[in-house]
Chain A
Amino acid sequence: MASELDVVPGIATRREEATGFFQRMVSKGLGWARKNSLWQYPFVTACCGMEYMSVSSARYDIARFGAEVPRFSPRQADMLLVVGTVNCKQAPILQRVYEQMSEPKWVVAFGVCASSGGFYDNYATVQGIDHVIPVDIYIPGCPPRPEQVLDGLMLLQRKVQNQQHKLIDRVPVPTLAK
């Protein structure tokens, strides 16, 4: 005779579903925290820097999006703003700055020169910084209006918010001490 327990429908707690729910919660919280405190590293090389100054000062006020803190060390920054033309001589420097930033990091190509080389279709200019480093957001314009920059920043915020995080078991960090 089958016991009653055998036919009582139990609550199906599948591990993956539970983990997925937890992951979504963590991702949402982390994304919310990250998107509202994007610390930037301005890699300003050219005239787009004027628009960068405009967008970061009082009238357009990038601080409304939590991105008002320029860090002049790439190790403390989340968002690399490449503002202006990057030439072939500078490209390895940009690459080193990118590599020095700690994860998670995002890159914004500010203006048409950083995005595609712009009208500097010549021997000295890198035709878009995506030849050197990966780019998340391209902001067109020569130079872009501050509204465009803020639009790009909001797109980046949406991207940061929607990023998924995986729960992984922490691997013990190997130490050099013997």
Chain B
Amino acid sequence: MAKVVIEALVARFPGDVYDPYEGAGGDDCAFVQKSKIVEVCRFLKTDPAMAFNMAPYITAVDYLGAEPRFEVVYNLLSTAHNHRIRLRVKVPEADLELESVTTVWRGANWFERYCLDMYGISFRNHPDPRRLFMYDEFVGHPLRKDYPLRGRQPLVPEREVKDIFRGPGPVGRD
């Protein structure tokens, strides 16, 4: 069903979108060049024949031992045409930086922070490049395949939360 989308993509971005195939779940997939991902996504979002208005899930995969080692996977959904595609971007370990697609879908914000937290893949022009789940003092990226299986992290003291009032209460309160 979404095969037409992939075919149109391959026709429009020859060389940048390559190796289309049908995934195990029936989703149509293709690989995208790392430098062209924002361009391809913006086309998918804005073109009325595509209208991929949602990025329900963006994640990363660590193929330890393969080259390039990482892959960022963009699962996209068009609610207008009920199309679902998956774009895969190969990311070498030497250059773990992509262009952020938050300018295309604002919902990509936390997914990209997740990739940063769990795999150490950073995104250029991200509005809020912090870790998503783990705390700042956490060493390493836990979903990488070479993260130690029983790696223990040092416990950190409680950080100050600026918007919690911890002083004495107002007059008259206990």
Are A and B a genuine interacting pair, yes or no?
yes
> Does chain A have a CB within 8 A of B124?
no
Give A131 to B151 CA distance when docked, in angstroms: 15
Residue of B nearest to A94 (CB): B158
> Does chain B have a CB within 8 A of A53?
no
A98 to chain B, nearest CB (A): 12
Question: Which of these, B147, B150, B153, B159, contacts A88 with CB under 8 Å?
Answer: B153
Main SS of chain A's interface residues? loop
Check A121 against B150 for contact (C-beta < 8 Å): yes
Give A118 to B156 CA distance when docked, in angstroms: 21
Interface size for B (C-beta < 8 A) is: 15
Give A91 to B141 CA distance when docked, in angstroms: 20
Residue of A nearest to B135 (CB): A89
> Does chain B have a CB within 8 A of A93?
yes
Give A89 to B117 CA distance when docked, in angstroms: 14
Residue of B nearest to A90 (CB): B158
Give A126 to B154 CA distance when docked, in angstroms: 10
Question: Which of these, A92, A96, A127, A131, contacts B156 with CB under 8 Å?
Answer: A92
Check A123 against B151 for contact (C-beta < 8 Å): yes
Which 4 pairs across A and B sit closest by C-beta, in order of nearness? A92-B158, A123-B142, A91-B155, A88-B153
